[in-house]
Amino acid sequence: MDGDHAVGLSLEGVTLRFGGVTALKGVALEVHAGELLALIGPNGAGKTSILNCVSGLYRPQSGSITLQSRGGRRIPLHDLAPHQIARLGIARTFQNIELFAHMTVLDNLMLGRHVHMAGGVISGGLFWGKQRAIEIENRVRVEAVIDFMNLESIRRATVGSLPYGKQKLVELARALALDPQILLLDEPMAGMNTEEKESMARFILDAHEEWGVTPVMIDHDMDVVMDIADRVVVLDFGAVLAVGSPEEIRENPKVIEAYLGQEFGGEGGG
């Protein structure tokens, strides 16, 4: 039934252990190019671990992670380092914001362009014609992201001085500056008020629909997840419990049992 989708990303038998703790037990899942996939599950289910494996921060003991590139090539990710994976067009945000706190919003976003920029120490230090042109060219792209996410007024603010909600937006903006094919979002709306959640959800949807990004989003807010996701993957104890459309997931008895009496559609599914 999913045969007509191009495969964006596929995980097969991914197993990840930390000493005695098995964080992921043979996880298999697919991310289809062009969809918005939500990853849900109770705390400690292994959601963040999956993103960390995909972005190369954790190395699974067994299993494979493969990227289907724009050109149709299949690229194994599980042997690559994080910076090599970023070059393939996979960007992400973190559960506990990981920004460059002492730099301005602008410099954070310019760093988001890192993989697209040429230049070394000497060309940077001289800052002559070509390097100058590269900086300007990428600044134009960054300004488009700033414009898209309404960050004009804080462009030159030091990131560390911004309130939490704004930092979350800047982190998303930095990921978007990379022009990613796949965008991994670890609880982008955690700790936000309703209004902030709404605007964050709006940006994610717009990035998905207008920029053609494929988001993989972890979140605990079932309302939002059920609202915006095309498909939902439910994780429990490091294994995939269920996969399906939001409607299917809502009615899945196993999921209902795992969430034991917690009502779907309510706040805080984890």
Q: How far does CA 229 lie from the centroid of its chain?
A: 14
Q: Is 41 in the site for ligand ADP (CB under 6 A)?
A: yes
Neighbouring residues of 140: CB distance < 8 A, sequence distance ≥ 6: none
- C-alpha 240/C-alpha 112 separation (Å) is 32
**Nearest residue (CB) to Mg ion, 43 versus 194:** 43
Give every CB contact of residue 92 below 8 A, 6+ residues apart in sequence: 51, 55, 175, 183, 184, 185, 186
| Site for ligand ADP contains 48 (CB under 6 A) | yes
Q: In whole angstroms, give the CA distance from residue 40 to residue 231.
A: 11
Please tell me whether residue 268 binds ligand ADP under the rule CB under 6 A: no
What residues contact residue 56 under an 8 Å CB cut-off, 6+ apart? 77, 80, 81, 82, 84, 85
CA distance 252 to 169: 33
Nearer to ligand ADP, 238 or 246 (CB): 238
Nearer to ligand ADP, 26 or 44 (CB): 44
- Binding region for Mg ion (CB under 5 A) out of 93-101, 152-160, 176-184, 195-203: 93-101
| HSE (side-chain half, CA atoms, 13 Å) at 214 | 21
Q: Is 21 in the site for ligand ADP (CB under 6 A)?
A: yes
Judged by CB under 6 A, which of 49, 66, 93, 214 binds ligand ADP? 49
Q: Which helix (H) or strand (E) holds 109?
A: helix 105-112
**Per-residue interface string for the shown chain with another protein, residues 49-88, x marking contact by CB under 8 A:** ------xxx-----------------------xxx-xxx-
**Which residue ranges make up the site for Mg ion (CB under 5 A)?**
48, 95
**Which residue ranges make up the site for ligand ADP (CB under 6 A)?**
18, 21, 23, 41, 43-49
**Which residue ranges make up the site for another protein (CB under 8 A)?**
55-57, 81-83, 85-87, 91-92, 94, 98-104, 107, 110-112, 114-115, 117-121, 123-127, 131-132, 134-136, 139-140, 143, 156-158, 161, 174-175, 178
